[in-house]
Amino acid sequence: MNKILYISSEAFPLIKTGGLADVAGSLPTALTKQSQDVRLLLPAYPEVLSKIRKNKKVSTTSYYNLSVEIIETRLPGSNIIVWLVDCPALFNRPGGPYTDKHGQAWHDNALRFAVFCHVAVDIALNKLLSNWQPDVVHCNDWQAGLVPALLSLHRKRPATVFTIHNLAYQGIFDQQTFVDLHLPEELWHINGLEFYGQLSFIKGGLAYADKITTVSPSYAREILQPEFGYSLDGLLNSRSKHLSGILNGIDEKHWNPGTDKYLEHKYNRRSLNKKSINKTELQQQLSLPVDASTMMIGMVSRLVQQKGLDIILQSLATLFTLPVQLVILGTGETHYELQLSEWAQRQPDQLKVVIGYNEPLAHRIEAASDVYLMPSTFEPCGLNQLYSLRYGNLPVVTPVGGLADTVTDASEENIKNDTANGFVINEQSPAALLSTIQRALTLYQQPEIWRQLQINAMSADFSWQASARRYISLYQQILEAH
Ligand code: ADP
Protein backbone atom coordinates (compact mmCIF):
# COMPACT_ATOMS: atom_id res chain seq x y z
CA MET A 1 0.00 0.00 0.00
CA ASN A 2 1.41 3.39 -1.01
CA LYS A 3 0.69 6.57 0.91
CA ILE A 4 -0.33 9.30 -1.54
CA LEU A 5 -0.78 12.98 -0.75
CA TYR A 6 -3.07 14.29 -3.50
CA ILE A 7 -2.87 18.07 -3.86
CA SER A 8 -5.59 19.93 -5.69
CA SER A 9 -7.02 23.45 -5.62
CA GLU A 10 -10.55 22.09 -6.18
CA ALA A 11 -12.42 18.82 -5.62
CA PHE A 12 -16.03 17.85 -6.31
CA PRO A 13 -18.41 18.04 -4.44
CA LEU A 14 -16.71 20.56 -2.16
CA ILE A 15 -15.65 23.11 -4.76
CA LYS A 16 -15.61 22.99 -8.54
CA THR A 17 -14.83 25.27 -11.46
CA GLY A 18 -13.93 22.61 -14.04
CA GLY A 19 -12.63 19.16 -14.83
CA LEU A 20 -9.87 19.20 -12.21
CA ALA A 21 -12.53 19.12 -9.49
CA ASP A 22 -14.16 16.07 -11.06
CA VAL A 23 -10.82 14.26 -11.19
CA ALA A 24 -9.80 15.20 -7.63
CA GLY A 25 -13.24 14.13 -6.41
CA SER A 26 -13.05 10.71 -8.07
CA LEU A 27 -9.48 9.50 -8.52
CA PRO A 28 -8.63 9.37 -4.77
CA THR A 29 -11.65 7.09 -4.23
CA ALA A 30 -10.69 4.87 -7.16
CA LEU A 31 -7.11 4.65 -5.85
CA THR A 32 -8.36 3.82 -2.35
CA LYS A 33 -10.45 0.99 -3.77
CA GLN A 34 -7.20 -0.40 -5.16
CA SER A 35 -5.55 -0.38 -1.72
CA GLN A 36 -3.77 2.98 -1.83
CA ASP A 37 -3.83 5.20 1.26
CA VAL A 38 -4.79 8.61 -0.18
CA ARG A 39 -5.19 11.96 1.59
CA LEU A 40 -6.46 15.01 -0.24
CA LEU A 41 -5.09 18.50 0.44
CA LEU A 42 -7.41 21.40 -0.46
CA PRO A 43 -7.70 25.11 0.46
CA ALA A 44 -10.48 25.89 2.95
CA TYR A 45 -12.60 28.20 0.79
CA PRO A 46 -15.89 29.33 2.44
CA GLU A 47 -17.91 27.08 0.09
CA VAL A 48 -15.86 24.11 1.24
CA LEU A 49 -16.28 24.96 4.93
CA SER A 50 -20.04 25.30 4.45
CA LYS A 51 -20.26 21.79 3.01
CA ILE A 52 -18.30 19.77 5.54
CA ARG A 53 -19.86 18.22 8.57
CA LYS A 54 -17.50 16.49 11.01
CA ASN A 55 -14.12 18.11 11.24
CA LYS A 56 -11.24 18.59 13.65
CA LYS A 57 -8.19 20.82 13.83
CA VAL A 58 -5.06 18.69 13.46
CA SER A 59 -2.29 21.25 13.23
CA THR A 60 -1.48 24.95 13.49
CA THR A 61 1.36 26.75 11.79
CA SER A 62 2.19 29.99 10.01
CA TYR A 63 3.83 31.19 6.80
CA TYR A 64 4.66 34.77 5.89
CA ASN A 65 3.23 35.81 9.31
CA LEU A 66 -0.18 34.39 8.37
CA SER A 67 -1.61 31.80 10.70
CA VAL A 68 -2.77 28.56 9.17
CA GLU A 69 -4.77 25.72 10.63
CA ILE A 70 -5.08 22.27 9.11
CA ILE A 71 -8.60 20.93 9.42
CA GLU A 72 -9.29 17.25 8.90
CA THR A 73 -12.57 16.14 7.39
CA ARG A 74 -13.89 13.58 4.88
CA LEU A 75 -14.79 14.00 1.24
CA PRO A 76 -18.62 13.90 1.29
CA GLY A 77 -19.95 10.56 0.08
CA SER A 78 -16.64 8.81 0.66
CA ASN A 79 -14.19 7.89 3.37
CA ILE A 80 -11.30 9.88 1.92
CA ILE A 81 -9.50 12.01 4.50
CA VAL A 82 -9.31 15.63 3.39
CA TRP A 83 -6.92 18.14 4.95
CA LEU A 84 -8.08 21.69 4.51
CA VAL A 85 -5.58 24.54 4.55
CA ASP A 86 -7.48 27.10 6.59
CA CYS A 87 -5.87 30.50 6.24
CA PRO A 88 -8.77 32.98 6.50
CA ALA A 89 -6.68 35.93 5.32
CA LEU A 90 -6.13 34.17 1.99
CA PHE A 91 -9.06 31.86 1.41
CA ASN A 92 -12.04 33.11 3.40
CA ARG A 93 -13.60 35.58 0.97
CA PRO A 94 -16.64 35.59 -1.30
CA GLY A 95 -16.00 34.86 -4.99
CA GLY A 96 -14.35 32.00 -6.84
CA PRO A 97 -11.28 29.97 -5.91
CA TYR A 98 -9.07 31.91 -8.32
CA THR A 99 -11.02 35.02 -9.28
CA ASP A 100 -13.33 37.61 -7.75
CA LYS A 101 -16.96 37.93 -8.74
CA HIS A 102 -15.99 39.99 -11.81
CA GLY A 103 -13.72 37.23 -13.08
CA GLN A 104 -10.52 39.10 -12.16
CA ALA A 105 -7.70 36.95 -10.78
CA TRP A 106 -7.23 37.55 -7.04
CA HIS A 107 -4.35 40.04 -6.63
CA ASP A 108 -2.65 37.77 -4.09
CA ASN A 109 -2.95 34.44 -5.92
CA ALA A 110 0.82 33.89 -5.77
CA LEU A 111 0.80 34.22 -1.99
CA ARG A 112 -2.39 32.16 -1.62
CA PHE A 113 -0.99 29.19 -3.50
CA ALA A 114 2.54 29.58 -2.17
CA VAL A 115 1.11 29.07 1.33
CA PHE A 116 -0.89 26.10 0.04
CA CYS A 117 2.33 24.62 -1.41
CA HIS A 118 4.35 25.23 1.77
CA VAL A 119 1.76 23.27 3.75
CA ALA A 120 2.03 20.40 1.26
CA VAL A 121 5.83 20.44 1.47
CA ASP A 122 5.78 20.38 5.27
CA ILE A 123 3.36 17.46 5.30
CA ALA A 124 5.54 15.69 2.72
CA LEU A 125 8.61 16.16 4.92
CA ASN A 126 6.73 14.94 7.97
CA LYS A 127 7.00 18.28 9.75
CA LEU A 128 3.34 19.09 10.15
CA LEU A 129 1.32 15.96 10.77
CA SER A 130 3.86 13.73 12.40
CA ASN A 131 1.97 10.45 12.13
CA TRP A 132 1.64 10.25 8.35
CA GLN A 133 4.27 10.79 5.69
CA PRO A 134 3.46 10.19 2.03
CA ASP A 135 5.49 7.97 -0.29
CA VAL A 136 4.24 9.94 -3.28
CA VAL A 137 3.11 13.56 -3.52
CA HIS A 138 0.75 13.91 -6.47
CA CYS A 139 0.43 17.58 -7.52
CA ASN A 140 -2.13 19.03 -9.91
CA ASP A 141 -1.87 22.17 -12.04
CA TRP A 142 0.02 25.39 -11.36
CA GLN A 143 -1.52 25.97 -7.94
CA ALA A 144 0.54 23.02 -6.68
CA GLY A 145 3.56 23.70 -8.92
CA LEU A 146 5.94 24.94 -6.24
CA VAL A 147 5.71 21.63 -4.36
CA PRO A 148 8.03 19.51 -6.58
CA ALA A 149 10.45 22.46 -6.85
CA LEU A 150 10.69 22.99 -3.08
CA LEU A 151 10.87 19.27 -2.37
CA SER A 152 13.70 18.86 -4.88
CA LEU A 153 15.93 20.71 -2.43
CA HIS A 154 15.62 17.91 0.13
CA ARG A 155 17.54 14.69 -0.13
CA LYS A 156 15.12 12.58 1.87
CA ARG A 157 11.81 13.37 0.26
CA PRO A 158 8.82 11.51 -1.16
CA ALA A 159 8.54 10.89 -4.91
CA THR A 160 6.65 13.54 -6.88
CA VAL A 161 4.12 13.39 -9.73
CA PHE A 162 2.80 16.49 -11.45
CA THR A 163 -0.37 16.29 -13.53
CA ILE A 164 -1.17 18.92 -16.16
CA HIS A 165 -4.92 19.36 -16.52
CA ASN A 166 -4.53 22.41 -18.75
CA LEU A 167 -1.19 23.84 -19.83
CA ALA A 168 -2.85 27.15 -20.74
CA TYR A 169 -3.05 28.09 -17.04
CA GLN A 170 0.47 28.53 -15.72
CA GLY A 171 0.54 30.80 -12.67
CA ILE A 172 2.87 33.50 -14.03
CA PHE A 173 3.90 36.38 -11.73
CA ASP A 174 6.61 39.04 -11.86
CA GLN A 175 10.14 38.51 -10.59
CA GLN A 176 9.50 40.65 -7.52
CA THR A 177 6.92 38.06 -6.41
CA PHE A 178 9.69 35.45 -6.36
CA VAL A 179 11.66 37.76 -4.06
CA ASP A 180 8.64 38.63 -1.89
CA LEU A 181 7.81 34.94 -1.41
CA HIS A 182 11.41 34.29 -0.24
CA LEU A 183 11.69 31.37 -2.63
CA PRO A 184 15.16 29.76 -2.61
CA GLU A 185 17.63 31.52 -4.95
CA GLU A 186 18.78 28.23 -6.43
CA LEU A 187 15.35 27.74 -8.03
CA TRP A 188 15.70 30.94 -10.12
CA HIS A 189 17.15 29.87 -13.46
CA ILE A 190 16.05 28.96 -16.94
CA ASN A 191 15.62 25.27 -16.04
CA GLY A 192 13.87 26.22 -12.81
CA LEU A 193 11.06 28.62 -11.92
CA GLU A 194 12.21 31.44 -14.17
CA PHE A 195 10.18 31.87 -17.37
CA TYR A 196 11.27 34.74 -19.62
CA GLY A 197 12.17 36.87 -16.61
CA GLN A 198 9.01 35.99 -14.70
CA LEU A 199 8.08 33.50 -12.00
CA SER A 200 6.22 30.43 -13.31
CA PHE A 201 4.48 28.18 -10.80
CA ILE A 202 3.76 25.49 -13.38
CA LYS A 203 7.47 25.18 -14.20
CA GLY A 204 8.02 24.03 -10.65
CA GLY A 205 6.04 20.92 -11.57
CA LEU A 206 7.32 20.50 -15.11
CA ALA A 207 11.00 20.95 -14.29
CA TYR A 208 11.25 19.18 -10.94
CA ALA A 209 8.59 16.43 -10.64
CA ASP A 210 9.89 12.88 -10.94
CA LYS A 211 7.07 12.11 -13.37
CA ILE A 212 4.78 14.37 -15.34
CA THR A 213 1.39 13.20 -16.53
CA THR A 214 -1.36 14.79 -18.47
CA VAL A 215 -4.94 13.70 -18.88
CA SER A 216 -4.92 12.03 -22.28
CA PRO A 217 -2.29 10.32 -24.46
CA SER A 218 -2.94 12.67 -27.40
CA TYR A 219 -2.52 15.81 -25.28
CA ALA A 220 0.74 14.38 -23.92
CA ARG A 221 2.02 14.31 -27.52
CA GLU A 222 0.48 17.64 -28.55
CA ILE A 223 2.14 19.68 -25.80
CA LEU A 224 5.54 18.70 -27.17
CA GLN A 225 4.77 20.88 -30.19
CA PRO A 226 4.97 24.68 -30.30
CA GLU A 227 1.31 24.95 -31.36
CA PHE A 228 0.06 23.54 -28.04
CA GLY A 229 3.15 24.01 -25.88
CA TYR A 230 2.82 27.69 -24.77
CA SER A 231 6.61 28.07 -24.99
CA LEU A 232 7.00 25.18 -22.57
CA ASP A 233 7.40 22.59 -25.35
CA GLY A 234 11.20 22.86 -25.15
CA LEU A 235 11.22 22.02 -21.45
CA LEU A 236 8.62 19.29 -21.96
CA ASN A 237 10.66 17.76 -24.78
CA SER A 238 13.68 17.66 -22.52
CA ARG A 239 11.56 15.76 -19.99
CA SER A 240 9.60 13.65 -22.46
CA LYS A 241 11.04 10.41 -21.03
CA HIS A 242 9.12 11.20 -17.85
CA LEU A 243 5.91 12.44 -19.49
CA SER A 244 2.86 10.27 -20.18
CA GLY A 245 -0.87 10.62 -20.73
CA ILE A 246 -3.48 8.84 -18.61
CA LEU A 247 -7.07 9.35 -19.69
CA ASN A 248 -9.53 10.59 -17.08
CA GLY A 249 -12.45 8.42 -16.10
CA ILE A 250 -15.95 9.49 -15.13
CA ASP A 251 -17.60 9.14 -11.76
CA GLU A 252 -20.38 6.66 -12.36
CA LYS A 253 -21.97 7.57 -9.06
CA HIS A 254 -22.83 11.00 -10.41
CA TRP A 255 -22.84 10.48 -14.16
CA ASN A 256 -25.03 7.52 -15.02
CA PRO A 257 -28.37 8.04 -16.81
CA GLY A 258 -29.74 4.93 -15.08
CA THR A 259 -29.29 6.30 -11.56
CA ASP A 260 -28.87 10.08 -12.02
CA LYS A 261 -30.61 11.79 -9.09
CA TYR A 262 -31.37 14.87 -11.19
CA LEU A 263 -33.42 12.91 -13.76
CA GLU A 264 -37.05 12.07 -13.28
CA HIS A 265 -36.92 9.70 -16.26
CA LYS A 266 -33.84 7.56 -15.87
CA TYR A 267 -32.79 5.37 -18.78
CA ASN A 268 -30.13 3.01 -20.03
CA ARG A 269 -29.15 1.30 -23.27
CA ARG A 270 -32.22 -0.92 -23.15
CA SER A 271 -34.70 1.87 -22.38
CA LEU A 272 -33.42 4.55 -24.72
CA ASN A 273 -36.97 5.56 -25.63
CA LYS A 274 -37.18 7.27 -22.23
CA LYS A 275 -34.37 9.61 -23.24
CA SER A 276 -36.75 11.65 -25.37
CA ILE A 277 -39.04 12.28 -22.37
CA ASN A 278 -36.09 14.11 -20.84
CA LYS A 279 -35.93 16.17 -24.01
CA THR A 280 -39.60 17.20 -24.02
CA GLU A 281 -39.41 18.04 -20.31
CA LEU A 282 -36.40 20.27 -20.86
CA GLN A 283 -38.11 21.93 -23.82
CA GLN A 284 -41.04 22.71 -21.53
CA GLN A 285 -38.83 23.92 -18.74
CA LEU A 286 -36.87 26.23 -21.05
CA SER A 287 -39.94 27.40 -23.05
CA LEU A 288 -38.73 25.92 -26.31
CA PRO A 289 -41.26 24.45 -28.78
CA VAL A 290 -42.05 20.96 -27.47
CA ASP A 291 -41.25 18.37 -30.13
CA ALA A 292 -39.49 15.09 -29.44
CA SER A 293 -38.41 14.76 -33.05
CA THR A 294 -36.39 18.00 -33.24
CA MET A 295 -32.66 17.33 -32.92
CA MET A 296 -31.47 19.00 -29.72
CA ILE A 297 -27.85 20.11 -29.51
CA GLY A 298 -26.51 20.65 -25.99
CA MET A 299 -23.46 22.36 -24.54
CA VAL A 300 -22.34 22.80 -20.92
CA SER A 301 -19.11 24.67 -20.71
CA ARG A 302 -16.89 27.40 -19.49
CA LEU A 303 -17.48 30.13 -22.07
CA VAL A 304 -13.89 30.71 -23.12
CA GLN A 305 -12.09 30.74 -26.47
CA GLN A 306 -10.72 27.22 -25.91
CA LYS A 307 -14.20 25.73 -26.13
CA GLY A 308 -14.71 26.82 -29.75
CA LEU A 309 -17.06 29.71 -29.00
CA ASP A 310 -15.78 31.74 -31.95
CA ILE A 311 -16.67 29.19 -34.61
CA ILE A 312 -19.95 28.44 -32.84
CA LEU A 313 -20.95 32.13 -32.91
CA GLN A 314 -19.95 32.41 -36.56
CA SER A 315 -22.09 29.37 -37.39
CA LEU A 316 -25.30 30.39 -35.65
CA ALA A 317 -26.97 32.25 -38.53
CA THR A 318 -26.71 29.19 -40.79
CA LEU A 319 -27.34 26.72 -37.98
CA PHE A 320 -30.76 28.24 -37.34
CA THR A 321 -31.83 27.49 -40.91
CA LEU A 322 -31.68 23.81 -39.91
CA PRO A 323 -34.42 22.05 -37.90
CA VAL A 324 -32.46 22.00 -34.63
CA GLN A 325 -32.62 23.45 -31.14
CA LEU A 326 -29.50 24.53 -29.28
CA VAL A 327 -29.26 24.69 -25.47
CA ILE A 328 -26.17 26.25 -23.89
CA LEU A 329 -25.35 26.39 -20.18
CA GLY A 330 -22.20 28.18 -19.15
CA THR A 331 -20.36 31.08 -17.64
CA GLY A 332 -17.14 32.70 -18.66
CA GLU A 333 -15.91 35.64 -20.66
CA THR A 334 -18.47 38.45 -20.67
CA HIS A 335 -18.35 39.09 -24.42
CA TYR A 336 -19.32 35.48 -25.14
CA GLU A 337 -22.10 35.59 -22.54
CA LEU A 338 -23.48 38.78 -24.13
CA GLN A 339 -23.28 37.62 -27.74
CA LEU A 340 -24.97 34.31 -26.94
CA SER A 341 -27.69 36.00 -24.90
CA GLU A 342 -28.38 38.42 -27.78
CA TRP A 343 -28.69 35.52 -30.20
CA ALA A 344 -31.08 33.78 -27.80
CA GLN A 345 -33.35 36.83 -27.75
CA ARG A 346 -33.43 36.86 -31.54
CA GLN A 347 -34.05 33.10 -31.90
CA PRO A 348 -36.26 32.17 -28.92
CA ASP A 349 -37.60 29.05 -30.65
CA GLN A 350 -34.20 27.58 -31.43
CA LEU A 351 -31.73 28.80 -28.85
CA LYS A 352 -31.78 28.82 -25.06
CA VAL A 353 -28.78 30.23 -23.23
CA VAL A 354 -28.53 29.87 -19.48
CA ILE A 355 -25.70 31.89 -17.99
CA GLY A 356 -24.55 30.47 -14.69
CA TYR A 357 -23.23 27.39 -13.01
CA ASN A 358 -25.96 24.80 -12.51
CA GLU A 359 -25.17 21.17 -11.74
CA PRO A 360 -28.75 19.77 -12.02
CA LEU A 361 -29.32 21.54 -15.33
CA ALA A 362 -25.98 20.22 -16.63
CA HIS A 363 -27.23 16.67 -16.02
CA ARG A 364 -30.61 17.39 -17.60
CA ILE A 365 -29.00 18.83 -20.72
CA GLU A 366 -26.86 15.71 -21.08
CA ALA A 367 -29.97 13.52 -20.78
CA ALA A 368 -32.13 15.64 -23.09
CA SER A 369 -29.75 16.37 -25.96
CA ASP A 370 -29.20 14.24 -29.04
CA VAL A 371 -25.91 15.85 -29.96
CA TYR A 372 -23.27 17.52 -27.79
CA LEU A 373 -21.20 20.43 -29.07
CA MET A 374 -17.50 20.50 -28.16
CA PRO A 375 -15.43 21.99 -31.00
CA SER A 376 -12.51 22.89 -28.70
CA THR A 377 -9.32 24.45 -30.05
CA PHE A 378 -7.48 22.15 -27.65
CA GLU A 379 -8.76 19.78 -24.98
CA PRO A 380 -6.43 18.10 -22.47
CA CYS A 381 -9.02 15.37 -21.78
CA GLY A 382 -12.50 16.82 -21.67
CA LEU A 383 -15.11 15.30 -19.42
CA ASN A 384 -18.27 16.54 -21.04
CA GLN A 385 -17.81 14.41 -24.16
CA LEU A 386 -17.41 11.40 -21.85
CA TYR A 387 -20.61 12.26 -19.97
CA SER A 388 -22.32 12.76 -23.33
CA LEU A 389 -21.24 9.35 -24.57
CA ARG A 390 -22.53 7.79 -21.35
CA TYR A 391 -25.88 9.56 -21.85
CA GLY A 392 -26.26 8.52 -25.52
CA ASN A 393 -25.77 12.13 -26.57
CA LEU A 394 -23.41 12.01 -29.55
CA PRO A 395 -20.48 14.45 -29.32
CA VAL A 396 -19.47 16.73 -32.20
CA VAL A 397 -15.77 17.36 -31.56
CA THR A 398 -12.53 18.59 -33.05
CA PRO A 399 -9.82 15.89 -33.24
CA VAL A 400 -7.65 17.25 -30.43
CA GLY A 401 -6.38 15.87 -27.12
CA GLY A 402 -8.79 13.69 -25.20
CA LEU A 403 -11.53 14.32 -27.78
CA ALA A 404 -9.42 12.52 -30.39
CA ASP A 405 -8.80 9.68 -27.93
CA THR A 406 -12.44 9.07 -27.07
CA VAL A 407 -14.69 10.00 -30.01
CA THR A 408 -14.80 7.89 -33.18
CA ASP A 409 -16.35 9.54 -36.21
CA ALA A 410 -19.55 8.20 -37.75
CA SER A 411 -17.90 7.50 -41.07
CA GLU A 412 -19.46 4.84 -43.25
CA GLU A 413 -16.77 2.38 -42.31
CA ASN A 414 -16.97 3.06 -38.58
CA ILE A 415 -20.76 2.77 -38.68
CA LYS A 416 -20.43 -0.62 -40.38
CA ASN A 417 -18.02 -2.00 -37.80
CA ASP A 418 -19.96 -0.53 -34.83
CA THR A 419 -17.14 1.67 -33.55
CA ALA A 420 -18.71 5.06 -34.42
CA ASN A 421 -19.89 7.03 -31.38
CA GLY A 422 -19.89 10.69 -32.50
CA PHE A 423 -18.79 13.18 -35.10
CA VAL A 424 -15.33 14.54 -35.73
CA ILE A 425 -14.89 17.95 -37.37
CA ASN A 426 -11.94 17.88 -39.72
CA GLU A 427 -10.84 21.46 -39.04
CA GLN A 428 -11.59 24.34 -36.65
CA SER A 429 -13.82 26.38 -38.96
CA PRO A 430 -17.51 27.40 -39.06
CA ALA A 431 -17.93 25.66 -42.43
CA ALA A 432 -16.53 22.38 -41.11
CA LEU A 433 -18.65 22.63 -37.95
CA LEU A 434 -21.82 23.25 -39.97
CA SER A 435 -21.19 20.42 -42.42
CA THR A 436 -20.54 18.06 -39.50
CA ILE A 437 -23.79 19.06 -37.80
CA GLN A 438 -25.55 18.59 -41.13
CA ARG A 439 -24.03 15.12 -41.32
CA ALA A 440 -25.30 14.38 -37.81
CA LEU A 441 -28.75 15.63 -38.77
CA THR A 442 -28.87 13.30 -41.78
CA LEU A 443 -28.10 10.30 -39.58
CA TYR A 444 -30.46 11.52 -36.87
CA GLN A 445 -33.21 11.17 -39.45
CA GLN A 446 -32.36 7.46 -39.77
CA PRO A 447 -33.46 6.18 -36.34
CA GLU A 448 -32.01 2.68 -36.65
CA ILE A 449 -28.50 3.89 -37.39
CA TRP A 450 -28.81 6.62 -34.75
CA ARG A 451 -29.81 4.12 -32.09
CA GLN A 452 -26.81 1.93 -32.91
CA LEU A 453 -24.53 4.97 -32.58
CA GLN A 454 -26.08 5.72 -29.19
CA ILE A 455 -25.58 2.13 -28.07
CA ASN A 456 -21.93 2.22 -29.21
CA ALA A 457 -21.48 5.45 -27.23
CA MET A 458 -23.16 4.15 -24.09
CA SER A 459 -21.26 0.85 -24.13
CA ALA A 460 -17.78 2.33 -23.78
CA ASP A 461 -16.08 1.86 -20.43
CA PHE A 462 -14.75 5.14 -19.05
CA SER A 463 -14.78 4.10 -15.41
CA TRP A 464 -11.97 5.29 -13.14
CA GLN A 465 -10.72 1.80 -12.33
CA ALA A 466 -8.54 1.41 -15.41
CA SER A 467 -7.02 4.90 -15.04
CA ALA A 468 -6.39 4.35 -11.33
CA ARG A 469 -4.46 1.19 -12.19
CA ARG A 470 -2.25 3.21 -14.56
CA TYR A 471 -1.51 5.80 -11.87
CA ILE A 472 -0.62 3.05 -9.41
CA SER A 473 1.81 1.48 -11.84
CA LEU A 474 3.38 4.91 -12.38
CA TYR A 475 3.73 5.37 -8.59
CA GLN A 476 5.35 1.92 -8.39
CA GLN A 477 7.74 2.80 -11.18
CA ILE A 478 9.00 5.97 -9.45
CA LEU A 479 9.16 4.40 -6.04
CA GLU A 480 11.37 1.65 -7.41
CA ALA A 481 13.66 4.20 -9.07
CA HIS A 482 13.56 6.63 -6.13
P1 ADP B 1 -12.77 22.13 -18.34
O2 ADP B 1 -12.10 21.44 -17.21
O3 ADP B 1 -11.84 22.65 -19.40
O4 ADP B 1 -13.74 23.19 -17.91
P5 ADP B 1 -14.09 19.56 -18.82
O6 ADP B 1 -15.00 19.08 -19.90
O7 ADP B 1 -12.89 18.71 -18.54
O8 ADP B 1 -13.67 21.07 -19.14
O9 ADP B 1 -14.90 19.66 -17.46
C10 ADP B 1 -15.88 20.59 -17.25
C11 ADP B 1 -16.72 20.18 -16.07
O12 ADP B 1 -17.39 21.34 -15.55
C13 ADP B 1 -17.81 19.21 -16.44
O14 ADP B 1 -18.12 18.40 -15.33
C15 ADP B 1 -18.98 20.15 -16.77
O16 ADP B 1 -20.22 19.52 -16.67
C17 ADP B 1 -18.80 21.20 -15.72
N18 ADP B 1 -19.34 22.52 -16.05
C19 ADP B 1 -18.78 23.47 -16.82
N20 ADP B 1 -19.57 24.57 -16.86
C21 ADP B 1 -20.66 24.28 -16.12
C22 ADP B 1 -21.85 25.03 -15.78
N23 ADP B 1 -22.05 26.24 -16.24
N24 ADP B 1 -22.75 24.44 -14.97
C25 ADP B 1 -22.54 23.17 -14.52
N26 ADP B 1 -21.45 22.43 -14.80
C27 ADP B 1 -20.52 22.98 -15.59
Q: 209-223 pLDDT, tens per residue?
A: 999 999 999 999 999
Q: Identify the pLDDT of residue 270.
A: 94
Q: How far, in Å, CA of 359 to CA of 291, rounded? A: 25
> In this model, does residue 130 exceed pLDDT 80?
no
Q: What is the mean pLDDT of the chain?
A: 97
Q: Identify the pLDDT of residue 101.
A: 86
Which of 299, 307, 383, 385 for a ligand 1 pocket mutation test, highest count of atoms within 8 Å of Cβ?
A: 383
Mean pLDDT of 395-416: 98
Count of residues making up the chain: 482
CB of 358 closer than 6 angstroms to any ligand 1 atom: yes
Quick check: 163 and 141 in contact, CB under 8 A? Answer: yes
Q: Identify the pLDDT of residue 159.
A: 98
pLDDT digits (tens, 9 = 90+) for 268-285: 999 999 999 999 999 999
pLDDT digits (tens, 9 = 90+) for 77-105: 999 999 999 999 999 999 999 999 888 99
Residue 442's pLDDT band (cuts 50, 70, 90):
very high
Q: Which atom of ligand 1 is the closest one to the Cα of 374?
A: 6
> In this model, does residue 140 exceed pLDDT 90?
yes
pLDDT digits (tens, 9 = 90+) for 387-397: 999 999 999 99
CB of 216 closer than 6 angstroms to any ligand 1 atom: no
Mean pLDDT of 452-473: 96
Mean pLDDT of 429-445: 98
Q: What are the residues whose beta carbons fall under 8 Å from the beta carbon of 293, sequence distance 6 or more?
A: none
Q: Identify the pLDDT of residue 349.
A: 98
Domain segments of the chain as ranges: 3-249+464-481, 269-459
Q: Which atom of ligand 1 is the closest one to the Cα of 165?
A: 2
Mean pLDDT of 229-255: 96
> In this model, does residue 329 exceed pLDDT 90?
yes
Quick check: 405 and 248 in contact, CB under 8 A? Answer: no
Cα 112 to middle of ligand 1, angstroms: 24
> In this model, does residue 49 exceed pLDDT 90?
yes
Q: Identify the pLDDT of residue 448.
A: 97
Q: How far, in Å, CA of 247 to CA of 380, rounded? A: 9
Q: What are the residues whose beta carbons fall under 8 Å from the beta carbon of 157, sequence distance 6 or more?
A: 124, 125, 151
Q: Pick the closest to residue 58 from 49, 70, 66 (CA basis).
A: 70
Mean pLDDT of 295-302: 97
CATH code for the structural domain at 3-249+464-481: 3.40.50.2000
pTM: 0.93
pLDDT digits (tens, 9 = 90+) for 13-26: 999 998 899 999 99
Cα 300 to middle of ligand 1, angstroms: 6
Q: Which one of 3.40.50.2000, 3.40.50.1100, 3.30.70.260, 3.40.1280.10 gives the CATH number of domain 269-459? A: 3.40.50.2000
pLDDT digits (tens, 9 = 90+) for 355-389: 999 999 999 999 999 999 999 999 999 999 999 99
Q: Which atom of ligand 1 is the closest one to the Cα of 248?
A: 7
